Structure 1
Amino acid sequence: MASITGMANHTGRLDFILMGLFRQSKHPALLSVVIFVVFLMALSENAFLILLIHSDTHLHTPMYFFISQLSLMDMVYISVTVPKMLLDQVMGVNKISAPECGMQMFLYLTLVGSEFFLLATMAYDRYVAICHPLRYPVLMNHRVCLFLASGCWFLGSVDGFMLTPITMSFPFCRSWEIHHFFCEVPAVTILSCSDTSLYKTLMYLCCVLMLLIPVTIISSSYLLILLTIHRMNSAEGWKKAFATCSSHLTVVILFYGAAVYTYMLPSSYHTPEKDMMASVFYTILTPVLNPLIYSLRNKDVMGALKKMLTVRFVL
């Protein structure tokens, strides 16, 4: 709060202006409706998947526990940015105060970081399930799963606590217009009138570390899975492993690909328009795609869904 107060003294104002998506659109009303529908789809899909996993005892396994955590993250994730954006469009207001901007930035960074580590945890879970099936109930018991999930949330919050106070402590005297639809760190940092080159280097190293650790875990897990399946020399084993891991790999590629573009590519590759499109993809579209990827290609989830619908229909 002290940093925000200092910024107010330096600039004499506390409101940023979010330029947003709608100023770039020729049909802002239609775009608003589309985004609202996508937002409702994301909330309903993820909420339903959580409910389905909770209600069906066959889905009370570590893999589906982590999928429910991913759905919870996606629900909060999309709720951090989209409602504010849509409300501003309806009310004709595009301002956000510095405290609100800092809170939005913190929540966003926390959820992105948490999802990075959760996807790595899910890859480790698949490694234990396929490579150590007899020890799986012991190695991935309920207490371990809770510990791993809590660790993901904690590590994500560390990212938020590190970057948010530093970003919001810079003096902003060039412009208060954020060429984005929410307070993302690169979009806010570029407005500072002080030298942020050292901070950008530190942020880059932080993001590399936040990506490198999960990517190393994911790559190692799937390499060991492939070696294990290769030793089995079983077509059925290959089929089962592909069915189990393909959904997770799809989500990893979608999420990590957009994050690498946003936080790791040099500034010469970036424009405000490209940055916003990348953010739309992994902030708005990814939470809609994730539950579809994990449900439509999953026999257990589809079986639980059919059973639930059958029971409801009979009743």
Structure 2
Amino acid sequence: MKSIFPIWLTFVGVLLTAINTQAAPVEGTWKLERSVDYESNAPAKKAPKFPIIKFQDNIIQLSENCTARLIATDYLFPEVFQAMTKEGISETQVDRFLVKNFGISLLKTKMVYKLKPNPEYCASPVMEFFVVNDKILIPAGDIFYIYGKTQPDHGAAYHNATQSKNDSLISGYKLSRLPMDFDRYYDTCRPKITNSKGKPQTSDKCAPEFFPYVADPKSDDPLMKLVGNHNYTMGGHRYADGFSPPFKQKAPATFLVFTPMNQVVLLRVDDFEVVRNEERDIMAGVYLSVVNGKVVDQISGCHLNLEYVCLAEGQAVAKLAPNGKFQKITNP
């Protein structure tokens, strides 16, 4: 049988462990376990394009520079399996194949999840998947790939993350989530945390995706001091003069705290104050990497994904290294 569609044009993932079990969250990292060719009923020779996929908070990451959001719709076999349907293969035939090779059935599946393309983060493939339990089944043309969960959710609570010397620095802080969707943060969160005087305030109103804090010059908290006293003009950052350092300039520094990468604490700092009459320039936001309580590096003009890769217009431009430095990535 020859598929009439490119093998990765339709990309379908199914989460399951047993027939007729209740759906469970897909959060976490999933790795290819095996694959079977429908026509030959033998192990597939073609490797999948995405051997590892990650899910977090309705976001899927297919590669270092490809993430997208998910939406749920009703499942219809002819729509998901268009190529097979046009070749006369029935839903019953496909189900027999799945039961025989993987011990699973889709006959009672009601919901299908689709990938919502986001050109800023990648020109992602068309993707659909069914949530059933702890496996992911991906039909791609006439080949079926099955994935298993390999590790806990990357965005889990901090006590499940790798312990480091920086534990005390972010103790008590709620962690915001990667990948960073700045447009969503700016458009939906910033208005919620800005008071009538145009000053941002620490708030839980953007939870669970964002937990913005505003550095308080009266606080003895070491992280507040680090954010408020940092020189954001380092590296020639433009428009930071009127903001940096925030405590000296009496400018409110709004920051997010992310899950650390081993020994590296990761922050994002933004200048969200409403500035009237061009009193000063507005600083574009930056990411700070912190090791042993000290800022090691900063980067701007891109946004970090789950792998701590910084993307600009869908292209990977830098990656956070274990030493806290943002290493540049040269694109061909």
Shorter-chain TM range is: under 0.3
Choose between structure 1 and 2: higher strand proportion: 2
User: What TM-score do you get using the length of structure 2 for normalisation?
Assistant: 0.19
User: What TM-score do you get using the length of structure 1 for normalisation?
Assistant: 0.20
Choose between structure 1 and 2: higher helix proportion: 1
